[in-house]
Structure 1
Amino acid sequence: MKISYKWLKELIDITETPEETGRLLTGTGLEVESIEEIESIKGGLQGVVIGEVLTCEKHPEADRLSNTTVDVGEENPLSIVCGAPNVAAGQKVIVAKVGAVLYPTGSEQPLILKKSKIRGSLSEGMICAEDELGLGTSHDGILVLETALPNGTPASEYFGISSDYLIEIGLTPNRADAASHYGVARDLKAVLNRPVSLSSVDGFSVHNKDLQVQVEVRNQEACPRYTGLTISGIKVGDSPEWLKQRLQTIGIRSINNIVDITNYVCHELGQPMHAFDAEKITGKKVIVTTVPAGTPFVTLDGIERKISASDLMICNEGTNGNPEPMCIAGVFGGLTSGVSGETTSIFLESAYFSPIWVRKTAQRFSLKTDSSFRFERGTDPNMPLYALKRAALLIQEIAGGTISSEITDIYPEPIQDFRVQMSYQHIDRLIGKSLDKSLIKSILNSLDIVIENETETSFTAIVPPYRVDVQREADVIEEILRIYGFGQVELSESLSSDYISDFPVNDPEKLKLRVSELLAANGFNEMINNSLTKPEYQASLGEALAGSPVKILNYLSEDLSVMRQTLLFSGLEVIAYNSNRRQRDLKLFEFGKTYHLLNEKYVEKERLSVFVTGNIQQESWFEKSRETVFHDLAAFVNQVLAAMKIREVEKQHADTRIYKYGLTLLFNKKPVVTFGLLQTAVAKKLDVKAGVFFADFDWEYMLRQYDAAVQYKEVSKFPEVRRDLSVVVNKKITFEELRQIAFRTEKQLLRSVNAFDVYEGANLEGKKSYSISFILQDETQTLTDKVIDKSMQRLIAAYEREFEAVIRK
Structure 2
Amino acid sequence: MKISINRLKKYIPHTESAEEIGALLTQSGLEVEGIEEFVSVKGGLEGIVIGEVLTCEKHPNADKLSITTVDIGTGVSPIVCGAPNVAKGQKVLVATVGATLYPSEGDSFQIKKAKIRGEVSEGMICAEDELGLGSSHAGIMVLDTDLPNGTPASEFIEIGQDEVLEIGLTPNRADAASHLGVARDLKALLGKDIEIETAPELKVEAAGPAIQVEVENSADCPRYAGVVITDLKIAPSPAWLQNFLKALDLEPINNVVDITNFILHDLGQPLHAFDADKISEGKIIVGKLPKDSKFTTLDEKERKLSGEELMIKDPKGGLCIAGVFGGEGSGVTDSTTSIFLESAYFSPDIVRKGSQFHGLKTDASFRFERGTDPNMPVYALKMAVKLLQEIAGGKVSSELIDIYPEPVQDFVIDVKYGHVNRLIGKKIEPSQVKLILESLDIKVENETEEGFTAIAKPYRVDVIREADIIEEILRIYGFHNVELAENLQTSYLAEHPVKDLNKLQYKLTELLTGQGYYEMITNSLTKSTYAEKSGFLDPKDSVVIYNKLSEDLDVMRQTLLYTGLEVLARNINRRQTDLKYFEFGTVYQKTEEGYAEGKRLALFLTGNRSAESWLEPSKSFAFADIYATVEGILEKLNVQAGDISVVEHAPFAYGLKIMLGQKELGTIGLVDEKALKQAEVRQEVFYAELNWDLLCKKASGLKKYEEISKFPEVRRDLSLVIDKKIAYDQVKTVANKAGGKLLKRVGVFDVYQGDKIEAGKKAYALSFHLQDQEKTLTDKVIDKTMSKLIQAFEKEVGALIRT
TM-score by length of 2: 0.87
Q: 1:495 and 1:751, CA in 2 relative to 1: closer, same or farther beyond 3 A? A: closer
Shift, 1:783, TM fit: 4.7
1:566-585 correspondence to structure 2 within 5 Å: 566-573=559-566
- Match of 2:648, SS? coil
- Are the equivalent residues in 2 in contact too, given 1:727–1:771 (CA < 8 A)? yes
Q: Which residue of 2 aligns with 1:321?
A: none
- Are the equivalent residues in 2 in contact too, given 1:67–1:79 (CA < 8 A)? no
- Are the equivalent residues in 1 in contact too, given 2:586–2:597 (CA < 8 A)? yes
Correspondence for 2:500 among 501, 504, 520:
504
Correspondence for 2:284 among 281, 286, 300:
286
What residue ranges of structure 1 are gaps of 5+ in the alignment? 319-323
Per-residue CA deviation, residues 6-61 of structure 1 (Å, 9 max, x unaligned), is 11212221221211121222232221111100001112123433345678999999
Q: Which residue of 2 aligns with 1:103?
A: 102
Correspondence for 2:153 among 152, 155, 158:
155
Q: Which residue of 1 aligns with 2:344?
A: 351
Per-residue CA deviation, residues 339-392 of structure 1 (Å, 9 max, x unaligned), is 111111111111111122212222222221111111122211111111111111
Shift, 1:242, TM fit: 1.6
Q: Which residue of 2 aligns with 1:183?
A: 181
Q: Does 1:386 align with 2:405?
A: no
Report the Cα distance in structure 2 between the residues aligned to 1:207 and 1:771, rounded to whole angstroms: 98
- Are the equivalent residues in 2 in contact too, given 1:79–1:122 (CA < 8 A)? no
Q: 1:690 and 1:237, CA in 2 relative to 1: closer, same or farther beyond 3 A? A: same
Per-residue CA deviation, residues 622-656 of structure 1 (Å, 9 max, x unaligned), is 766766543344344445555x4556544511433
Shift, 1:405, TM fit: 1.0
Kindly provide the amino acid, as one letter, of the partner of residue 656 in structure 1: E
Greater shift in the superposed pair: 745-754 or 783-792 = 783-792
- Are the equivalent residues in 1 in contact too, given 2:646–2:725 (CA < 8 A)? no
Correspondence for 1:656 among 648, 654, 665:
648
Per-residue CA deviation, residues 213-248 of structure 1 (Å, 9 max, x unaligned), is 111212111111111111111111221222111111
- Are the equivalent residues in 1 in contact too, given 2:200–2:386 (CA < 8 A)? no
Q: Which residue of 1 aligns with 2:325?
A: 332
- Match of 2:741, SS? coil
Report the Cα distance in structure 2 between the residues aligned to 1:262 and 1:93, rounded to whole angstroms: 37
- Are the equivalent residues in 2 in contact too, given 1:738–1:799 (CA < 8 A)? yes
Report the Cα distance in structure 2 between the residues aligned to 1:121 and 1:765, rounded to whole angstroms: 104
Q: 1:373 and 1:721, CA in 2 relative to 1: closer, same or farther beyond 3 A? A: same
Provide the aligned C-alpha RMSD in A: 4.0
Q: Which residue of 2 aligns with 1:43?
A: 43
Q: 1:7 and 1:723, CA in 2 relative to 1: closer, same or farther beyond 3 A? A: same
Identity rate of aligned residues, in percent?
54
Kindly provide the amino acid, as one letter, of the partner of residue 236 in structure 2: D
Report the Cα distance in structure 2 between the residues aligned to 1:463 and 1:681, rounded to whole angstroms: 48
Kindly provide the amino acid, as one letter, of the partner of residue 224 in structure 2: Y
1:719-730 correspondence to structure 2 within 5 Å: 719-728=712-721
Q: Which residue of 1 aligns with 2:769?
A: 775
- Are the equivalent residues in 2 in contact too, given 1:653–1:661 (CA < 8 A)? no
Kindly provide the amino acid, as one letter, of the partner of residue 514 in structure 1: E
Q: Which residue of 1 aligns with 2:557?
A: 564
Q: Does 1:757 align with 2:750?
A: yes
Q: 1:331 and 1:773, CA in 2 relative to 1: closer, same or farther beyond 3 A? A: same
Shift, 1:725, TM fit: 3.1
Correspondence for 2:396 among 374, 398, 403:
403
Greater shift in the superposed pair: 138-147 or 160-169 = 138-147
- Match of 2:513, SS? helix
Per-residue CA deviation, residues 128-163 of structure 1 (Å, 9 max, x unaligned), is 555553335667876564432223322222221121
Per-residue CA deviation, residues 734-777 of structure 1 (Å, 9 max, x unaligned), is 54344334333333332211122234555543765433222233
- Are the equivalent residues in 2 in contact too, given 1:654–1:675 (CA < 8 A)? no
Q: 1:49 and 1:782, CA in 2 relative to 1: closer, same or farther beyond 3 A? A: farther
Report the Cα distance in structure 2 between the residues aligned to 1:202 and 1:9, rounded to whole angstroms: 22
- Are the equivalent residues in 1 in contact too, given 2:531–2:539 (CA < 8 A)? no
- Match of 2:545, SS? coil
Shift, 1:106, TM fit: 3.6
Q: 1:559 and 1:91, CA in 2 relative to 1: closer, same or farther beyond 3 A? A: closer
- Match of 2:315, SS? strand
Q: Which residue of 2 aligns with 1:514?
A: 510
Q: 1:93 and 1:14, CA in 2 relative to 1: closer, same or farther beyond 3 A? A: same
Report the Cα distance in structure 1 between the residues aligned to 2:135 and 2:550, rounded to whole angstroms: 48
Report the Cα distance in structure 2 between the residues aligned to 1:180 and 1:61, rounded to whole angstroms: 60
Q: 1:493 and 1:80, CA in 2 relative to 1: closer, same or farther beyond 3 A? A: farther
Report the Cα distance in structure 1 between the residues aligned to 2:407 and 2:676, rounded to whole angstroms: 51
Per-residue CA deviation, residues 67-113 of structure 1 (Å, 9 max, x unaligned), is 98866545xx48777575788887655455566444344445x5466
- Are the equivalent residues in 1 in contact too, given 2:212–2:282 (CA < 8 A)? yes
Q: Which residue of 1 aligns with 2:209?
A: 211
Greater shift in the superposed pair: 741-750 or 569-578 = 569-578
- Are the equivalent residues in 2 in contact too, given 1:662–1:674 (CA < 8 A)? yes
Correspondence for 1:609 among 602, 613, 638:
602
Kindly provide the amino acid, as one letter, of the partner of residue 435 in structure 2: S
- Match of 1:746, SS? helix
- Are the equivalent residues in 2 in contact too, given 1:216–1:288 (CA < 8 A)? yes
Q: Does 1:376 align with 2:369?
A: yes
Report the Cα distance in structure 2 between the residues aligned to 1:355 and 1:619, rounded to whole angstroms: 52
Q: 1:699 and 1:518, CA in 2 relative to 1: closer, same or farther beyond 3 A? A: farther
Greater shift in the superposed pair: 61-70 or 539-548 = 61-70
Shift, 1:552, TM fit: 1.7
Q: Which residue of 1 aligns with 2:255?
A: 257
Correspondence for 1:243 among 237, 241, 244:
241
- Match of 1:159, SS? coil
- Are the equivalent residues in 1 in contact too, given 2:52–2:71 (CA < 8 A)? yes
Report the Cα distance in structure 1 between the residues aligned to 2:120 and 2:334, rounded to whole angstroms: 53
Q: Which residue of 2 aligns with 1:275?
A: 273
- Are the equivalent residues in 2 in contact too, given 1:675–1:693 (CA < 8 A)? yes
Q: 1:581 and 1:190, CA in 2 relative to 1: closer, same or farther beyond 3 A? A: closer
Shift, 1:449, TM fit: 2.1
Report the Cα distance in structure 2 between the residues aligned to 1:482 and 1:456, rounded to whole angstroms: 23
- Are the equivalent residues in 1 in contact too, given 2:752–2:764 (CA < 8 A)? yes
Q: 1:448 and 1:509, CA in 2 relative to 1: closer, same or farther beyond 3 A? A: same
- Match of 1:426, SS? helix
- Match of 1:747, SS? helix
- Are the equivalent residues in 1 in contact too, given 2:638–2:701 (CA < 8 A)? no
Shift, 1:539, TM fit: 4.5
Q: Which residue of 1 aligns with 2:14?
A: 14
Number of aligned residue pairs: 797
TM-score by length of 1: 0.86
Report the Cα distance in structure 2 between the residues aligned to 1:101 and 1:509, rounded to whole angstroms: 59
Per-residue CA deviation, residues 268-292 of structure 1 (Å, 9 max, x unaligned), is 1111111111111111111112222
Q: 1:553 and 1:264, CA in 2 relative to 1: closer, same or farther beyond 3 A? A: same
Report the Cα distance in structure 1 between the residues aligned to 2:104 and 2:679, rounded to whole angstroms: 52
Greater shift in the superposed pair: 211-220 or 61-70 = 61-70
Kindly provide the amino acid, as one letter, of the partner of residue 364 in structure 1: F
Kindly provide the amino acid, as one letter, of the partner of residue 449 in structure 1: I
- Are the equivalent residues in 1 in contact too, given 2:608–2:621 (CA < 8 A)? yes
1:380-529 correspondence to structure 2 within 5 Å: 380-497=373-490, 500=494, 504=500, 506-507=502-503, 510-511=506-507, 513-515=509-511, 517-518=513-514, 521=516, 528-529=521-522
Report the Cα distance in structure 2 between the residues aligned to 1:593 and 1:438, rounded to whole angstroms: 41
Q: Does 1:266 align with 2:261?
A: no
- Match of 2:202, SS? coil
